[in-house]
Amino acid sequence: MKIQGVPIVSTKTVVITGASAGIGAALAPLLAARGASVVLVGRHEAGLEAVAALCHGRALVVTADVTDRTDVRRVVATALEQFGHIDVWVNNVGQGISRLPSELTDDDIDSMMQVNVKSALYGMQEVLPHFKERNTGQVINMSSMLGRAPFAVIRSAYSGAKHFLNALTAMFRAEVQQTHPGIQFTLISPGVVRTSFGISALHGGPDSRTLPDSQSADEVALVIANAINRRPADVYTRAGSCDRIASYYATVGVDP
């Protein structure tokens, strides 16, 4: 048990969406090793079960599509039935896109909003009554450096969706904390992560695992685990990220 350095999650119940692969799959065993009970949510049961096997008997698998509000409501009910309370809800589902902004279709925009924004909106709205009853709880929304600045033209609709998610997170925090200051909404902004994100993007794309200046899913998971205990409002997963964002906006010709 460490008091300094990496803190301990302990007896929290943590719901993780998109838990069958990538960042979610790295986060779940880490939290379980620190004493948390984890609810693993995703569409692919076999993948969820494989992650659960690494979680020291502290995992509950719930197969669900979090772009469907009814499924999200079922996840909340199932977690409460099993554990009696939820402490942290991690909105980790997301998908990229490889398409220039001039070529975007209605379906492209609808898909990016459904996966990257509505899935998080449903999670926040459906778990919020439980958090309000206890005046405690934490929502963690997984954003992206592309939600801070539009670095990659082919990720145009994804970047726009993450900008929307960032604003939505901030507005949830401002609204809820007026009456329930014990509830936190934390935004996590990684850069390139070595997962299947790139090749799983709508219309395909470069493999994120081959790109330079990347992080492992384990590194990002460690940042999230620390944020669960420290409960900050906003977290970048790499040093220097704030400077990179500031540098971008300093060079795009912003009029004072």
Q: Which residues are catalytic?
A: 158
Cβ pair 163, 187 in contact under 8 A: no
Would you list the DSSP string of 164-220? HHHHHHHHHHHHHTTT-TTEEEEEEE---BSSSTTTTSBT----GGGSSS-B-HHHH
C-beta neighbour count of 6 within 10 angstroms:
12
Cβ pair 95, 111 in contact under 8 A: yes
| Angstrom distance (rounded) from CA 44 to CA 205 | 22
Question: In what side-by-side order are the strands of the sheet with 59-63?
Answer: 59-63, 37-42, 13-17, 88-91, 137-142, 183-189, 234-236
- Single out the residue of 160, 153, 162, 161 nearest to residue 100, CA to CA: 153
